[in-house]
């Protein structure tokens, strides 16, 4: 047997023995485990699964062993991923540090930074948040203004970040800051990491139309950040940010495979709320719902096709570029249809009057608006497809 097949067999039997059956089902939102200094587990199985994967080094299977990874080469890592998928194992933890910052640190960090920052990530001990967007820098991220002034052995950071997901629960932040106000927009930006407990950092949660949310505005008032926490070259943060956002897209698509917190099957709900025989206006509604379900089916097949093409060594950059757009637009469309299908039952706000599922759908609908904005708004995705994939010309 060749070593890869051997590894596949070992991995399969290890996972079968060590992944508790309860951890092999889609995760409801409340049961996500976030690696953090004060990590919380919804149940004992989740903790067991977390600890076993951690001790195996499989939070970061393809990272070097010296930083706590398992040192798997790409082809072995692919085997592990496919076995995890096959058994439908939940991710043992969610961690922005590992998915986004980690790969950038591996590529651009100093030896000391790698040791100090990567090792706790591989143990799931630090929760990270992303400090990129600002009130006046959204799609046009490079216009950010939060400043980091040179003060000898440290920077002094002033300004504000917004839409910081889980800013209130995170231990550390990686942030883009302006270190040179005179340079051109893209040339004066640096990437730093900072401890959220630093004096001068304050965090205010933001309520969304869907109610309480995980989003925060973070304020910096004379925050001291040691220069050892600058990642990569001074003023060279924009390239790192682009790299990081590539990892974000990859992570989002991976994340999407596992957790389906807003996943509702449309057609059973149609049957439930629009029992036969339906009237004429209702049959038009059913047709809309079916079209929405068929588009979702086509999307799911596209996810499968992209995976197969990638494994066959084909170029999937084009397909990758549409996934976020399609998925989030379809989700919104689907919730719009559901709102109509469920009628008054979709309009409840206070708990109690409607079923938990109905409440969840109402919140899901409101939340679906955030998804077509975050992580690159739909219009930005269309720009990217038009220019990078289709090669349409830019305005001079």
Partner 1 sequence: MHLLYNDDQRLLADSAREFLAARSPVSRQRALRDEAQAGGFDPQLWQDAVALGWSAIPFPENLGGLDFGCMGLGPIFESIGCNLSASPLLSSVVLSGSLLHLQGNAQQQDRWLSATISGERRLALALDEQPRHNPSKVALQAVANGDGYSLTGDKYFVIDGVGADGYLVAARTGAAAGISLFLVPADAPGLTVKALPLIDSRNHARLQLQQVQVGPDALLGDIGCAMPALNIALDRGRVCLAAEMLGMSEKLFELTLDYLKTRVQFDVAIGTFQSLQHRAAQLYVELALARSAVMAGLAALDDSALSEGERQRLASLAKWKAGQMALKVVNEAVQMHGGIGVTDELDVGLFLKRIRVAQASLGDADFHCERYAALELAHA
Q: Using CB under 6 A, list all residues that contact ligand FAD.
A: 130-133, 138-139, 163-165, 215, 370, 373-374, 377, 379-380, 383
Task: Please confirm whether the linkage preceding 80 is cis (ω < 30° from 0).
Answer: no
> Among 42-50, 116-124, 136-144, 292-300, which window interacts with partner 1 (CB under 8 A)?
292-300
Residue 140 sits in the site that holds partner 1 (CB under 8 A)? no
Residue 284 sits in the site that holds partner 1 (CB under 8 A)? no
Least Cβ distance, residue 381 to partner 1 (angstroms) = 8
Measured between alpha carbons, how far is 332 from 372 in angstroms, rounded to an integer?
8
| Residue 330-359 contact track with partner 1, rule CB under 8 A, x = bound | ------------------------------
Measured between alpha carbons, how far is 177 from 174 in angstroms, rounded to an integer?
10
Residue 206 sits in the site that holds partner 1 (CB under 8 A)? no
The interface partner of residue 347, options being ligand FAD, partner 1, none and the CB cut-off 5 to 8 Å by kind, is none
Among residues 260 and 390, whose Cβ is nearest to partner 1?
390
Among 308, 347, 349, 353, binds partner 1 (CB under 8 A): 308
Among residues 37 and 283, whose Cβ is nearest to partner 1?
283
Residue with tokens 């889609």: 26
Provide the β-strand partners of residue 176: 191
Provide the β-strand partners of residue 226: 154
| Residue 241-280 contact track with partner 1, rule CB under 8 A, x = bound | ------------------------x-xx-xx---------
The interface partner of residue 373, options being partner 1, ligand FAD, none and the CB cut-off 5 to 8 Å by kind, is ligand FAD
The interface partner of residue 155, options being partner 1, ligand FAD, none and the CB cut-off 5 to 8 Å by kind, is none
Closest listed residue to residue 133, CA positions, set 294, 370, 329, 334: 370
Residue 172 exposed, middle or buried by CB count within 10 Å (0-12, 13-18, 19+): buried
Q: Give every CB contact of residue 264 below 8 A, 6+ residues apart in sequence.
A: 334, 338, 357, 360, 361, 364
CA angle, 66 then 193 then 70, to 5°: 20
Which conformational region is residue 144 in: left (phi greater than 0), alpha (psi within -120 to 50 degrees), or beta?
beta
Q: Terminus-to-terminus CA distance in the chain, angstroms?
A: 58
Q: Which residues bind to partner 1, rule: CB under 8 A?
A: 265, 267-268, 270-271, 286-287, 290-291, 293-295, 297-299, 301-302, 304-305, 308-309, 312, 318-319, 322, 325-326, 379, 381-383, 385-387, 389-396
């Amino acid at each position: 047997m060749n070593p890869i097949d051997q590894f596949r067999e070992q991995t399969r039997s290890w996972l079968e023995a060590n992944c508790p059956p309860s951890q092999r089902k889609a995760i409801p939102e409340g049961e996500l485990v976030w690696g953090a200094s004060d990590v919380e587990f919804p149940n004992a199985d989740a903790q067991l699964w977390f600890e076993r994967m951690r001790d195996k080094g499989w939070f970061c299977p393809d990272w070097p062993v010296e930083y706590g990874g398992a040192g798997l080469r790409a082809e072995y890592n692919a085997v592990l991923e496919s076995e995890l998928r096959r058994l439908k194992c939940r991710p043992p933890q969610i961690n922005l540090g590992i998915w986004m910052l980690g790969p950038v640190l591996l590529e651009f960090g100093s030896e000391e930074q790698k040791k100090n920052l990567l090792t706790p990530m591989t143990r799931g001990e630090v929760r990270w948040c992303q400090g990129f967007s600002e009130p006046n820098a959204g799609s046009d991220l490079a216009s950010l203004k939060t400043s980091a002034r040179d003060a000898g052995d440290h920077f002094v950071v002033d300004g504000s970040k917004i839409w910081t997901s889980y800013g209130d629960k995170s231990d550390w932040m990686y942030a883009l800051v302006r270190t040179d106000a005179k340079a051109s927009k893209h040339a004066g930006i640096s990437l730093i990491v900072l401890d959220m407990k630093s004096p001068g950092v304050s965090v205010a949660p933001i309520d969304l139309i869907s109610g309480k949310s995980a989003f925060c505005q973070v304020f910096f008032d004379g925050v001291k950040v040691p220069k050892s926490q600058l990642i990569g070259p001074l003023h060279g943060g924009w390239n790192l940010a682009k790299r990081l956002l590539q990892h974000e897209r990859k992570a989002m698509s991976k994340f999407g495979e596992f957790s389906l917190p807003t996943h509702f099957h449309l057609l059973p709900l149609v049957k439930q709320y629009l029992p036969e025989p339906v009237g004429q206006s209702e049959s038009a509604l059913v047709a809309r719902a079916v079209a929405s379900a068929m588009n979702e089916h086509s999307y799911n097949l596209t996810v499968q096709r992209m995976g197969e093409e990638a494994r066959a060594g084909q170029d999937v950059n084009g397909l990758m570029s549409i996934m976020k757009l399609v998925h989030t637009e379809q989700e919104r469309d689907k919730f719009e249809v559901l709102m109509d299908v469920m009628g008054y039952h979709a309009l409840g706000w206070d708990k109690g009057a409607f079923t938990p599922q109905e409440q969840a759908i109402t919140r899901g609908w409101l939340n679906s608006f955030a998804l077509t904005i975050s992580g690159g708004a739909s219009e930005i995705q269309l720009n990217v497809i038009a220019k990078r994939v289709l090669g349409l010309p830019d305005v001079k």
